[in-house]
């Protein structure tokens, strides 16, 4: 995809999604970190149902560190992989308390050393909580990037590297949320809504559905 086409693509996405941000409810970087860990293989909706009571009972790293697995499970049992996530959250909070004064580190290496945190989650925290110009690639962004021709790759790291090279600096901070929201609500996996897609003229997807000729 040409640079001019990429610029137009992001201009149109930005116009259609004026306030791109995460759909995980949170008040601070700590709540965001816990919510992102919980969101692995789960929906944001299911996480948002569980976290208000969780954070009311356990508002910080120290309180979660001192909780038992069953105490955490009682709040997150409805979320997939809850037993593993409960253990990871407690271990993560123990590290936050002992090594980072209970705060979420603004450092990739430190973030990726936390249980339940990989490169994607670290990128989400760095971008959403701290404003770093990094792009976390999830299943939606992987699909949109490959489908449109924006950044193709066989794995998420290839797509991430391609996006970091191709996305203009003006949109690097918001690219993650622009692409994930577009993938979640328009460029869906099974039935992409191409007829109502604002970037259908920039998209290189050969299997477009609906009327792709109208603006």
Q: Which residues are catalytic?
A: 120, 138
Q: Is the dihedral of CA 131, 150, 142, 155 positive or negative?
A: negative
Structural tokens at position 16: 């259609």
> How many CA atoms, within 13 angstroms, populate the side-chain half-sphere of residue 3?
4
Secondary element (H or E) of residue 170: helix 169-185
Question: Which residues are CB-neighbours of 9 under 8 A, at least 6 positions away?
Answer: 1, 148, 150, 199, 202
How far apart (Å, rounded) are the C-alpha atoms in residues 56 and 76? 13
């Amino acid at each position: 995809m040409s640079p001019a086409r990429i610029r137009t693509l992001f201009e149109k996405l930005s116009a259609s999604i004026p306030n791109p941000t995460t759909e995980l409810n949170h008040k601070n970087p700590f709540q965001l970190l816990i919510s992102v860990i919980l969101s692995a293989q789960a929906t944001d909706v299911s996480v948002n149902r569980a976290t208000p009571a969780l954070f009311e009972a356990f508002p910080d790293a120290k309180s979660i560190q001192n909780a038992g697995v069953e105490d955490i499970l009682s709040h997150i049992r409805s979320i997939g992989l809850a037993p593993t996530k409960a253990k990871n959250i407690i271990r993560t909070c123990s590290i936050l308390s002992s090594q980072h004064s209970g705060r979420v580190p603004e450092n990739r290496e430190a973030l990726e050393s936390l249980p339940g945190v990989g490169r994607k989650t670290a990128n989400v925290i760095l971008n959403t909580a701290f404003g770093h110009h990094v792009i976390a690639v999830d299943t939606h962004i992987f699909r949109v990037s490959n489908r449109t021709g924006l950044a193709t790759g066989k794995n998420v790291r290839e797509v991430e590297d391609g996006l970091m090279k191709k996305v203009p600096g003006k949109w690097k901070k918001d690219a993650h949320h622009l692409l994930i929201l577009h993938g979640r609500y328009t460029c869906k996996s099974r039935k992409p809504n191409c007829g109502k897609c604002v970037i259908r003229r920039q998209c290189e997807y050969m299997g477009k559905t609906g009327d792709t000729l109208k603006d």
